Structure 1
């Protein structure tokens, strides 16, 4: 059965894992096109690839397309999207969830000519992913590399810790200065919200009301830890047992004090 040259506007090419592979995997690609301009995925330099197999990571795709021109960036997504891949602000404290399974890739070239070379390839072209010069690790060697990459150098980790603390101190300083501002003639002060990250005007009474409600919630927060909850339950059961014994004694006294005894 002949393979189709194009599917819904995508050119179909064959990706073999290595030269020894007897069968190949079908990749579908076309030029990336969106209505709005994106600095992360420029239309004139970005190749949109779908049906990317699980063993293709950023490094493998970079090596695969580098033969046509310098690759600036590779974005991997679970589903097609015009947004860039999310990058954590603190890479060693909040690592993003890796994209597993089949995925979509956006290969961004440095030059427009590289994209034109890829698009000019005839349908059915066979590409080899793993070569002797640039092998794609699998099995135990792949897990060894991922394990070794999990170790962070001390100086890099120390620099990131300093960055986290600087951001925390800056946040607390903004909160402190926001509470010390003098209201204007109409009773307004500038407040910086943590969610909006932009200064905006609020009434002084509203600012005090928010701070008061926040402080009240913090004061009402009791039995936060699990051992405190267990202790509170044990104390409640002990009080119930004590009250039950007192009720039993009171009922017994009431029975003994009754004057009318028909039995």
Structure 2
């Protein structure tokens, strides 16, 4: 996946708010846009530290954790990638499915 994420020095602190064009592969002319900003919430957690957590929307279904790690690696060390249906400050739970319950039924 091709990307054009702006590179900034570690000492440079600026408000991140970027629209990043990506392609599924180099041979296609179709561009998909990711919208990236610093994740800021009122409920601070150690798992999602301020100034080190990104909020990315419009992630295509073919973009996996490995894909995001690869895409963001030029910007610095990627310690974790989490997918959520809605914005949250909570830590993601182990794989949950809307269709198949992960808990045993009550008997």
| TM-score normalised over the length of structure 1 | 0.30
In 1, Cα distance between the equivalents of 2:33 and 2:40?
21
What's 2:55 paired with? Answer: 48
What's 1:30 paired with? Answer: 37
Could you give the per-residue CA deviations for residues 121-158 of structure 1, whole angstroms, max 9, x where no partner exists?
Answer: xxxxxxxxxxxxxxxxxxxxxxxxxxxxxxxxxxxxxx
User: CA distance change for structure 1 residues 98 and 66 in 2, over 3 Å: closer, same or farther?
Assistant: farther
Select which of 77, 87, 91 maps to 2:84: 77
In 1, Cα distance between the equivalents of 2:43 and 2:36?
20
Greater CA radius of gyration, 1 or 2? 1
User: CA distance change for structure 1 residues 48 and 39 in 2, over 3 Å: closer, same or farther?
Assistant: same
Residue 97 in 1 paired to residue 104 in 2? no
In 2, Cα distance between the equivalents of 1:55 and 1:98?
18
Unaligned residue ranges in structure 2 (runs of 5+): 1-15, 99-106
Provide the aligned length of Structure 1 versus Structure 2.
Answer: 84
Contact 2:43-2:89 within 8 A present in 1 as well = no
What's 1:17 paired with? Answer: 24
| TM-score normalised over the length of structure 2 | 0.69
Give the number of the structure with larger relative contact order, counting CA–CA contacts within 8 Å between residues 6 or more apart: 2
Aligned-pair Cα RMSD in Å: 2.1
Whose helix fraction is larger, Structure 1's or Structure 2's? 1
Unaligned residue ranges in structure 1 (runs of 5+): 1-8, 88-95, 100-223, 225-263
Contact 2:69-2:81 within 8 A present in 1 as well = yes
